[in-house]
Amino acid sequence: MATFQTAWKKSDGPVRYFQSDREIQLGDRIELRGFLRKRRGSVNYVPGISDPHPEMEHNALFWVGVAFDNGTFTGAIVDPDTGCTRKNVVFLERGPTDAIATVPEAPWE
């Protein structure tokens, strides 16, 4: 299997929000905007900060983990050229890091 080459690596620095110098941190409250809905949740996985997880880091691609308020979980892709999330991930506020949900082991949404 060939490995995908990217310009940004997690050793280059922290993951940031779209067109911002604000670093993504565990516990951040965010809003994930989709085509027809907006969902709010907390960041529970950040490449370079969290322990590596096979569902969140593979083939030189990285995802930020988001646990939604309704108990579901998803990942938001990190742009492989800039190290930023897409513009649909919107920062709301810094949240507590003591109540972070863990990333599930099984394949997810």
CATH numbers and ranges of domains, the chain: 10-93 (2.30.30)
> What SS3 class is residue 44?
strand
pTM comes to 0.83
Report which residue type is found at 91: F
Of 96, 97, 102, 91, nearest in space to 23 by CA: 91
Report which residue type is found at 84: C
Backbone angles phi, psi at 40, to 5 degrees: -105, 145
What confidence tier does 95 reach under pLDDT thresholds 50, 70, 90?
confident
- pLDDT over 60 at 103, yes or no: yes
